[in-house]
Amino acid sequence: MAGKAATLREPFRKPLVRGFVWVFVCGFLLAAIAGFERWARLADLTTESERLHAIASQRVDQHDAHLTALSAIAVASQDQRPDLFLEVAGAIMRFYPRIIGISLVPLDEQGSSLDIGVRDAELGALVREAAKRSRGAPVLARYPSDRPAYLIVKRSPNSEAARYGLALVIDAAALLDGDSAFWTQTEATRWLALPDGTLLVGAADSGSSPQFTRALSSATQPLELKTAVRMTILDVFPPRRVALALALIGFSAVALRAIGRQRAKVRAAEARAELSGLETRLSHASRVNALGEMASGIAHELTQPLTAILAQAQAARRLAARGDTDRITGILDDVVEQTRRAAAILERLRTWTRPRERNAEAIDMRECIRVAGTLLAGQAAELDASLDVRVPPTPLSVVGDRVELEQVLFNLIRNALDAVAEKAAPREITVEATMEGDMAVIDVSDTGPGIRSDVRDRLFTPFMTTRENGTGLGLALSLRLVERAGGDLTLIETREGARFRINLPLVRAAREAGA
Amino acid sequence: MTAPVYLVDDDAAVRDALSLLLSTVGVDVRTFPGPENFLSALPKLDPGCLILDIRMPAISGLKLQERLTASGVAWPTVVISGHGDIEACRKAFRNGAIDFLSKPVDEQDLIDAIQKGQMALDRTAEADAERREAVALLAGLTQREREVLSFVARGFATREIAGALGVSPRTVESHRAAIGAKLGTTSPAEMARLWIEVGNGP
């Protein structure tokens, strides 16, 4: 049961394993692509973010310089030259568009503020409050409007005796403006927040978490810059790259299978060649062995009469030399007898009959043809030869040994197969059985090269063969076996190919002949 | 040629032909169709030369050889064989065969082999005769003379023998003279040979 199950599962196992391997390789490659793409995008993000960080840091540093300059003007002019302050402030704002407002707010609430770019009632109070909070370092605050802007507020002069609060209103979005297409073309997100976490640029809940976070390198405005890049499925699996990878896998799989099949074919061919070589050697060895055994047995049998003959002849010679001729006649009789004995042994060699129980019975030759045909069907298929069997609908009963007559047909058909193998197509073998009077006639014909005229006379002689590996016993044995069954085996003249004819007496005729 | 030749071969024609051939050269041949027949007749047979065919049914020639050796029959044996099989040949010689011949056997080879066998038999017979003679001679000695002879055979001088037996050298001398008269020799070497021949080790 287990064995059967295993053999049943076998055809399914290979495709299954192959499928697993395929899926695994595809998965591995896709993961590799995704990993690479992700890494590449993050690397891009980091590069761009660092660049942005550097620019922004540089920009915010400029604000300190502006504040210092404006503070100096405000203090120096002592409220006398508001036009100078406004002129310088206007020039700064024109030159730096991200500075959207400048406000100079007197700390005593009676004085009026100098506001440029922004007009906001709350702004004055906010700046004043911030300036009072300041202990030297500028104070940052969210600009109270829907613009993404912040305030940088400084005391002026920057001491406990400060009289003004000086503020720059800076558009945080403009702070991040740049020439890099990265931030506009991709799914990148930027956040900019005051150090206290107040968000200036970017949505609070954009769905993605920052992948790059760094405070601007400024002592006064360490704004927190955060960036992220959202990766879509198309970013992680770029269609062209994935398609290319899958095509590569597919091509490799096909190529590997082709190579594998080719190698399997070569191996199978090698195995077949080795096997056929082995068979050839084996058949040769068994033939040599059989002949050797036969020769050894015959040698021993022949030795006995030869020993007797030699001894008798030498004894007779002695007697003759002595003149004792009376006994010589008797000795010569013995010599004749022993010579006959040796001749009888040789006769047995000549007919090379083996002592075998022969079982003669009425048999249907159609059966014999069928058996021989079945035994050789595989060989015929291998040679791509057609084996056409034509038999009458009624039994062809003859008396003989079934195995022997099957062997005859086997030999004849195998010879025919060997003959057609020497020629290209069409390779046709025909076995035709007919009834002619009281005889069964079986013709075995082939479309091979035919029998050479120089071997035709010796065709049924033992050990005569035209084949390299032939024993030369097939036809000789076949003839003997057919003759035993009271028939004969002949070569029929044909224009092409070869045709052997078996004539066997049908049962009634055989009985009448007393066989 | 006096000793008989015993031929054992299962093939009647070969048996008859070889015995005919041997009879024409004056050899007394007795044939046996098989080893069993020979073994059953063996107790009544005189020593002779054996010719055995190696390949026989039931007991092969080699087996028969082994049995004869085991039962103390050391007659010279010639083995003949249908095939010149080297292994069989080696076995035959190991079992003490004096010759190994291939069939068909040529008369001269066979006669030579039988002659070799005869010589071996003659040597055995001669040795037997000498031994029997020595035994007969020694049987005539008295107990005391035998004792003295044993000392002489072992190479002792008269004075030493006298000392060993506790008699006078004169008495030993007279014993030696008597032994010499009975054995027909006064040579101590010849006395020693007779002494050893009847089976007394040196």
Q: Are residues A119 and A40 in the same domain?
A: yes
Q: Is A329 on the interface with B (CB under 8 A)?
A: no
Residue A1 lies in a domain: no
Residue A86 lies in a domain: yes
- Sequence length of chain B is 202
Query: What is the average pLDDT across A193-199?
Result: 85
pLDDT, tens digit, 9 for 90 and up, residues A255-275? 988 999 999 999 988 887 876
Q: Is A325 on the interface with B (CB under 8 A)?
A: no
With b meaning 16 or more CB within 10 Å and e meaning fewer, what string describes B47-79? ebbbbbbbbbeebbbbebbbebeeeeeebbbbb
The values of phi and psi at residue A152, to 5°, are -125, 115
Q: What's the whole-number average pLDDT of chain A?
A: 81
Residue with tokens 């002659």: B115
CA-based nearest distance B4→chain A, Å: 18
Asked if A406 contacts A371 with a C-beta cutoff of 8 angstroms, the reply is yes
CA atoms within 13 A on the CB side of B3: 22
Residue A10 lies in a domain: no
Banded model confidence at residue A280, pLDDT cuts 50, 70, 90: low
**Quick check: A300 and B24 CB within 8 A?**
no
Q: Is A314 on the interface with B (CB under 8 A)?
A: yes
CA angle, A114 then A116 then A121, to 5°: 70
Instruction: Say what the pLDDT of residue A275 is.
Output: 65
Of B25, B83, B105, the CB nearest to A307: B105
CA-based nearest distance A343→chain B, Å: 15
CB atoms near residue A306 (< 10 Å): 20
Kindly state the tokens that stand for A137: 């370092």
Q: Are residues A310 and A366 in the same domain?
A: no
**Cα radius of gyration rounded to whole Å, chain B:** 24
Asked if A430 contacts A443 with a C-beta cutoff of 8 angstroms, the reply is yes
Domains for chain B: give ranges and CATH numbers. 5-128 (3.40.50.2300), 140-197 (1.10.10.10)
Kindly state the tokens that stand for A419: 């003959």
Q: Is B24 on the interface with A (CB under 8 A)?
A: yes
Instruction: Say what the pLDDT of residue A500 is.
Output: 94
CB atoms near residue A10 (< 10 Å): 9
Banded model confidence at residue A6, pLDDT cuts 50, 70, 90: very low
Kindly state the tokens that stand for A188: 């990148």
The values of phi and psi at residue A38, to 5°, are -60, -50
In chain B, DSSP finds a helix count (H) and a strand count (E) of 9, 5
Domain stops at, among A178, A205, A234:
A234
Please report, for the domain that includes residue A392, its CATH number. Answer: 3.30.565.10
CA-based nearest distance A331→chain B, Å: 9
Residue A318 lies in a domain: yes
**What dihedral angle (degrees, nearest 10) is formed by the CA atoms of A130, A134, A139, A141?**
-20
Instruction: Say what the pLDDT of residue A509 is.
Output: 53
Residues of A in contact with B11 (CB under 8 A): 304, 307-308
Domain stops at, among A324, A351, A378:
A351
Q: Is A112 on the interface with B (CB under 8 A)?
A: no
ipTM: 0.73
Q: Is B128 on the interface with A (CB under 8 A)?
A: no
Asked if A328 contacts A320 with a C-beta cutoff of 8 angstroms, the reply is yes
Q: Are residues A85 and A217 in the same domain?
A: yes
Residue A3 lies in a domain: no
Q: How far apart are CA A442 and CA A434, in angstroms?
A: 6
Q: DSSP H helical segments within A78-218, as ranges?
A: 82-95, 121-133, 172-175, 182-185
Kindly state the tokens that stand for B139: 């049987």
A401-410, A412-421, B2-11, B23-32: lowest mean pLDDT where?
Answer: A401-410
CA A253 to chain centre: 5
Asked if A44 contacts A182 with a C-beta cutoff of 8 angstroms, the reply is yes
Q: Are residues A339 and A434 in the same domain?
A: no
**Quick check: A311 and B11 CB within 8 A?**
no
CA-based nearest distance A285→chain B, Å: 22
Helix (H) or strand (E) holding B70: helix B61-70
Q: Are residues A111 and A230 in the same domain?
A: yes
Instruction: Say what the pLDDT of residue A301 is.
Output: 73
Instruction: Say what the pLDDT of residue A207 is.
Output: 66
**Quick check: A309 and B24 CB within 8 A?**
no
User: What is the residue type of A419?
Assistant: A
Task: Output the DSSP codes for A467-505.
Answer: STT--S-HHHHHHHHHHHTT-EEEEEP-SSSEEEEEEEE
Q: Is A77 on the interface with B (CB under 8 A)?
A: no
The values of phi and psi at residue A192, to 5°, are -135, 125
Q: Are residues A81 and A177 in the same domain?
A: yes
CA-based nearest distance A290→chain B, Å: 18
Query: What percent of chain A is predicted at pLDDT more than 70?
Result: 85
Q: How far apart are CA A453 and CA A211, in angstroms?
A: 97
Query: What is the average pLDDT across A164-172?
Result: 88
Query: What's the total number of domains in chain A?
Result: 3
Residues of A in contact with B16 (CB under 8 A): 308, 334
Residue A427 lies in a domain: yes
Between the CA of residue B93 and those of A129, A224, A349, B71, what are the distances in Å?
138, 116, 34, 18
Q: How far apart are CA B184 and CA B202, in angstroms?
A: 21
Q: Are residues A245 and A217 in the same domain?
A: no
Asked if B3 contacts B118 with a C-beta cutoff of 8 angstroms, the reply is yes
- Using DSSP's 3-state secondary structure scheme, residue A115 falls into strand
Residue A253 pLDDT > 80? yes
The domain of A176 spans 17-234
Q: Are residues A275 and A392 in the same domain?
A: no
**Quick check: A315 and B13 CB within 8 A?**
no
Residue with tokens 């406004």: A86
Q: How far apart are CA A437 and CA A230, in angstroms?
A: 101
pLDDT, tens digit, 9 for 90 and up, residues B4-57? 999 998 888 999 999 999 999 899 999 998 888 898 998 888 889 999 888 765
pLDDT, tens digit, 9 for 90 and up, residues B128-176? 888 888 888 888 888 888 888 888 888 888 888 888 888 888 998 899 8
> Pick from B77, B110, B102: which is nearest to B6 by CA?
B77
User: What is the residue type of A260?
Assistant: G
Q: How far apart are CA A45 and CA A242, in angstroms?
A: 23
Strand arrangement of the beta sheet that strand A99-106 belongs to: A114-116, A99-106, A164-171, A149-156, A139-142
Size of interface A-B (CB pairs under 8 A): 70
**Cα radius of gyration rounded to whole Å, chain A:** 58
- Whether the full predicted model's pTM is greater than 0.95, yes or no, is no
Residue A383 lies in a domain: yes
Cis peptide before B169 (omega within 30 of 0): no
Residue A260 lies in a domain: yes
Q: How far apart are CA A204 and CA A217, in angstroms?
A: 23
Beta pairing class for A99-106 and A164-171: antiparallel
Instruction: Say what the pLDDT of residue A504 is.
Output: 93
With b meaning 16 or more CB within 10 Å and e meaning fewer, what string describes A455-488? eeeebbebeebbeeeebbbbbbbbbbbbebbbbe
Helix (H) or strand (E) holding A361: strand A360-364
> Pick from A106, A96, A112, A100: which is nearest to A74 by CA?
A106
Q: Is B107 on the interface with A (CB under 8 A)?
A: yes
Residues of B in contact with A305 (CB under 8 A): 13
User: What is the residue type of A62?
Assistant: Q
Q: Are residues A63 and A203 in the same domain?
A: yes
With b meaning 16 or more CB within 10 Å and e meaning fewer, what string describes B105-140? bebeebeebbeebbebbeeeeeeeeeeeebeebbee
Of A300, A307, A318, the CB nearest to B14: A307
Q: Is B84 on the interface with A (CB under 8 A)?
A: no
Long-range contacts of A303-306, Cβ-Cβ distance < 8 Å, separation of 24 or more: A303/B82, A303/B83, A303/B103, A303/B104, A304/A341, A304/B11, A304/B13, A304/B14, A304/B82, A304/B103, A305/A338, A305/A339, A305/A341, A305/A342, A305/A345, A305/B13, A306/A338, A306/A342, A306/B103, A306/B104
Of A300, A312, A334, the CB nearest to B82: A300
Instruction: Say what the pLDDT of residue A472 is.
Output: 63
Q: Is B83 on the interface with A (CB under 8 A)?
A: yes
pLDDT, tens digit, 9 for 90 and up, residues A329-382? 999 999 999 998 888 777 655 544 444 456 788 889 998 898 778 767 767 777
Q: Are residues A345 and A458 in the same domain?
A: no
Q: Are residues A259 and A207 in the same domain?
A: no
**Quick check: B21 and A319 CB within 8 A?**
no
Domain stops at, among A327, A351, A375:
A351
Residue of chain A whose alpha carbon sits nearest to that of B24: A315
Q: Are residues A122 and A223 in the same domain?
A: yes
Q: Is B17 on the interface with A (CB under 8 A)?
A: yes
